[in-house]
């Protein structure tokens, strides 16, 4: 699979605006088709300056401070190792505060930076390679990555060669007609991470299998809860209804952008960012070097 991303641009913060969608490579097994499409979206309803999280049934004041889910880290991730076992997060903050985010980068960085400060680094000798995947559950290239590369990651994970950490982002909120689907899907994933971490990957796969089209309303909260239940997770209805992890989703998305993660999917392996070429060309030398 060749690298394809949807870029997040526009004003940082609540009511994130996607001012442009840059759609790159469409990958398939054995072939890659270049498709470049730039879509410039107008400002609709002042989303770029919205100061609150707009729910399906209304709006509410967003809190800056919120908890980190159990089994997850303060960077937005939950990690899985051999045979799908949840890897406990390293000691770190158990609350996040949106007001304490670092500033956004000036312009668009060519690649992410300050990786050590967001928990991305090369593994120690003899340890599994760290893989970190930034994704948006509304991003079609993220779904394609999961479909085409996910089986390899799972194989390497079960062989003890890698750990895989998933970090959902809210970059495509603007593309869900004001329902903030990317945030709600990320919140739902956080709810599952907290209560039923062993069902997280099944739930994530289901979200991609039922992925709504961009510029649609996305799935409603009842459907998100139903998909979680179908994946075997505990009931997340109350967790979604109280927006327990909205500050977490908001903060971790802002933190990623502040460190130069400007699109999804963005993938790191052993502290290196996948910037082009096929994933096999990127991952092969890294895995070989760890033998």
SS3 47: helix
Determine the pLDDT at residue 108.
Answer: 87
Determine the pLDDT at residue 44.
Answer: 29
Q: Is the dihedral of CA 197, 63, 59, 50 positive or negative?
A: negative
CA distances in angstroms from 142 to 60, 71, 127, 147, listed in the order given: 29, 23, 27, 9
The DSSP call for residue 199 is: G
- Residues 63-101: tens digit of each pLDDT: 899 999 999 999 999 999 999 999 999 999 999 999 999
Determine the pLDDT at residue 28.
Answer: 31
Domain locations in the chain? 55-289
Which stretches does DSSP call E strand in the chain?
6-7, 20-28, 31-40, 53-55, 58-60, 65-67, 78-80, 86-87, 95-97, 129-135, 162-168, 263-264, 266-269, 272-273
Determine the pLDDT at residue 46.
Answer: 28
Determine the pLDDT at residue 63.
Answer: 85
Q: Which residues of 172-187 are buried (b: 16+ CB within 10 A; e: fewer)?
A: bbbbbebbbbbbbbbb
Regions in the chain scoring below 50 on pLDDT: 10-60
**Half-sphere exposure of 46 toward its Cβ, with a 13 Å CA cutoff?**
6
Q: From 3.40.50.1820, 3.40.50.300, 3.40.30.10, 1.10.8.420, which CATH number describes the 55-289 domain?
A: 3.40.30.10
- Residues 26-64: tens digit of each pLDDT: 333 333 332 323 322 232 232 222 223 434 444 445 689
- Report the predicted TM-score, pTM, of the whole model to 2 decimal places: 0.83
């Amino acid at each position: 699979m060749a690298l394809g991303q949807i870029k997040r641009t526009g004003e940082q913060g609540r009511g994130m605006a996607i001012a442009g969608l840059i759609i790159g490579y469409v990958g398939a097994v054995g072939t890659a088709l270049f498709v470049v499409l730039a879509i410039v979206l107008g400002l609709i309803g002042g989303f770029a300056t919205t100061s609150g999280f707009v729910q399906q049934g209304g709006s509410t004041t967003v809190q800056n401070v919120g908890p980190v889910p159990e089994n997850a880290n303060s960077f937005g991730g939950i990690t899985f190792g051999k045979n799908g076992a949840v890897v406990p997060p390293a000691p770190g903050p158990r609350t996040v505060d949106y007001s304490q985010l670092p500033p956004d980068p000036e312009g668009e960085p060519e690649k992410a930076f300050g990786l050590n400060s967001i928990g991305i680094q090369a593994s120690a000798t003899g340890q599994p390679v760290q893989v970190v995947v930034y994704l948006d559950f509304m991003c079609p290239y993220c779904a394609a990555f999961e479909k085409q590369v996910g089986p390899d990651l799972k194989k390497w994970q079960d062989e003890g060669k890698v750990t895989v950490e998933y970090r959902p982002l809210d970059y495509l909120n603007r593309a869900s007609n004001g329902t903030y689907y990317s945030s709600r899907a990320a919140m739902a994933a956080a709810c599952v991470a907290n209560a039923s971490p062993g069902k997280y990957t099944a739930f994530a796969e289901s979200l991609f299998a039922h992925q709504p089209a961009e510029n649609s309303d996305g799935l409603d909260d009842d459907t998100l809860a139903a998909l979680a239940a179908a994946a075997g997770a505990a009931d997340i209805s109350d967790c979604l209804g109280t927006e327990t992890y909205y500050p977490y989703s908001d903060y971790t998305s802002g933190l990623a952008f502040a460190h130069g993660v400007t699109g999804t999917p963005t993938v790191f392996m052993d502290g290196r960012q996948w910037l082009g070429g096929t994933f096999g060309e990127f991952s092969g030398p890294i895995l070989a070097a760890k033998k």
